[in-house]
């Protein structure tokens, strides 16, 4: 009896339909437990006045109404975050593409160069680099010193001015162009050489080759990079949190940092939860818009 039960169980477990579920079980549990449930809970809290310490009080859409009608900082952070993402991501992609084109020319040292250019983006998100950046742009920092060597003597406070502070973060973001560069490199290598040869026979120069062949064939890669990095750009946290803390005058206050401040520094946790939901909505809208523009500029035919 026991034996047949054991055999039956083994047979049941080894059916394709059961095995699939068993193997997927970690993800099923994880997805529900660490994504669906928290999002559900936070949606409820976003409708409450809640400060972690005392029990939540249901207030309906109050948090959302307050956000859109009575919170200037909210609009300010959205402006800052958009500015950061829309300036740093395109610049980073252009830079990545230029370096990729430069490194496409193969020589013995290519692997070595590639490593050189890629290293900053491996460690760029770390606390160590953020600390370094903060010191570099200090009044007595390396940047001013190097400018001094070049003959421009200044003790300009890069981080203290509302116009330049955001640019220190943008430069840090551009500096981490390594992974986009690698993606560009691998798709540049997939463009058939025959296309270039044929166009050379037809009398095309390097310039028109780039705009008529390379760029159109790269648009799917550019699109992929753009979507992924835009999302990442909207979510930058560590750099802002450590380097500027949103100063001066909230001119570098990223949305994520504002969300953190509201939830854990001002203890408006319910409001923070509402901010998280609005951010998800914003990211979705931007992704949808990017996808909608796809058919106007992304090349989809096969080679």
Of residues 234 through 273, those in contact with other proteins by CB under 8 A are 235, 237-238, 241-242, 256, 259-260, 263-264, 269, 272-273
DSSP 8-state secondary structure symbol assigned to residue 124: T
- Give the one residue of 87, 183, 195, 286 binding other proteins; rule: CB under 8 A: 183
Find the helix packing angle between 72-104 and 178-188, rounded to 10°: 40
The residue range among 32-40, 83-91, 153-161, 196-204 that interacts with other proteins, by the rule CB under 8 A, is 32-40
Site for other proteins in 57-76 (CB under 8 A): none
Q: Does 136 bind other proteins (CB under 8 A)?
A: yes
Q: Of 104, 204, 231, 290, which one interacts with other proteins (CB under 8 A)?
A: 231
Q: How far apart are CA 243 and CA 163, in angstroms?
A: 15
Cβ neighbours of 6 (radius 10 Å): 10
Is residue 260 a contact partner of residue 241, using CB atoms and an 8 Å limit? yes
Q: Is 126 in the site for other proteins (CB under 8 A)?
A: yes
Q: Decide if residue 137 touches other proteins (CB under 8 A).
A: no
By the rule CB under 8 A, 125 interacts with other proteins: yes
Q: Which stretch binds other proteins (CB under 8 A): 38-46, 162-170, 200-208, 291-299?
A: 38-46
Candidate residues 123, 198, 285, 303; the one interacting with other proteins per rule CB under 8 A: 123
Q: Locate tokens 């753009």: which residue?
A: 226
Sign of CA dihedral 263, 264, 265, 270: positive
Q: What are the two backbone dihedrals, phi and then psi, of residue 135, each rounded to the nearest 5 degrees? A: -70, -35
Q: Shortest distance, CB of residue 89 to other proteins, whole angstroms?
A: 13
Cα 167 to Cα 80, 105, 173, distances in angstroms? 11, 32, 9
């Amino acid at each position: 009896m026991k034996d047949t039960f054991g055999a039956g169980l083994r047979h049941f477990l080894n059916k394709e339909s059961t095995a699939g579920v068993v193997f997927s079980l970690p993800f099923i549990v994880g997805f529900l437990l660490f994504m669906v449930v928290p999002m559900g809970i936070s949606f409820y809290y976003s409708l409450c006045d809640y400060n972690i310490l005392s029990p939540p009080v249901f207030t309906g859409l109050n948090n959302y109404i307050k956000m859109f009608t009575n919170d200037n900082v909210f609009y300010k952070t959205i402006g800052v975050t958009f500015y950061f993402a829309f300036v740093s991501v395109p610049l980073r992609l252009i830079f990545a593409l230029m370096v990729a084109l430069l490194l496409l020319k193969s020589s013995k040292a290519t692997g070595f160069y590639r490593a050189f250019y890629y290293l900053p983006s491996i460690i760029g998100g770390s606390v160590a680099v953020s600390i370094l950046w903060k010191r570099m742009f200090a009044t007595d920092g390396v940047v001013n010193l190097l400018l001094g060597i070049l003959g421009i003597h200044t003790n300009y406070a890069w981080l203290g001015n509302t116009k330049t502070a955001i640019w220190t973060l943008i430069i840090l973001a551009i500096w981490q162009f390594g992974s986009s560069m690698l993606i560009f490199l691998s798709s540049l290598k997939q463009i058939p050489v025959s296309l270039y040869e044929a166009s050379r026979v037809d009398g095309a120069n390097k310039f028109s080759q780039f705009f008529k062949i390379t760029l159109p064939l790269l648009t799917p890669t550019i699109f992929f990079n753009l979507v992924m990095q835009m999302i990442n750009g909207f979510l930058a946290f560590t750099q802002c949190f450590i380097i500027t803390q949103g100063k001066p005058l909230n001119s570098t206050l990223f949305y994520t940092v504002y969300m953190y401040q509201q939830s854990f520094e001002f203890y408006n946790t319910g409001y923070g939860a509402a901010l998280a939901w609005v951010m998800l909505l914003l990211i979705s809208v931007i992704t949808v818009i990017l996808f909608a523009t796809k058919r106007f500029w992304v090349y989809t035919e096969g080679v």
